[in-house]
């Protein structure tokens, strides 16, 4: 059981680290958040409706916390 908990914790931490690096790479204008167009480079299936759902604070951009939550919830996937 401890091994499973460690594996899950490590997996989530790794996902967070990968997303942080990915966020930097995806943020073409260096604003610290993502526009719909920037998001669609990595997640081509993301629609405007998806973007609005992910943008939980409704500021018109997706920040790192919102991106992480969307990926962990399965809202954003890279598969077709």
pTM greater than 0.85: no
Helical spans, DSSP H, in 1-80: 2-26, 36-42, 48-54, 64-73
What does the pLDDT read at residue 15?
A: 42
Question: Which residue, 66, 42, 43, is CA-closest to 54?
Answer: 66
Confidence of residue 18 (pLDDT cuts 50, 70, 90): very low
Q: What is the pLDDT of residues 34-80, one digit of tens each?
A: 999 999 998 999 999 999 999 999 999 999 999 999 999 999 987 75
- Domains belonging to the chain, first-starting first, are 2-73 (1.10.238.10)
């Amino acid at each position: 059981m401890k091994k499973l908990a460690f594996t899950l914790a490590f997996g989530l931490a790794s996902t967070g680290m990968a997303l942080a690096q990915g966020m930097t790479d995806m943020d073409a204008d260096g604003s610290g958040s993502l526009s719909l167009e920037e998001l669609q480079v990595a997640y081509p299936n993301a629609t405007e409706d998806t973007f609005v759902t992910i943008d939980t604070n409704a500021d018109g951009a997706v920040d790192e916390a919102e991106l992480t939550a969307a990926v962990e919830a399965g809202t954003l996937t890279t598969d077709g």
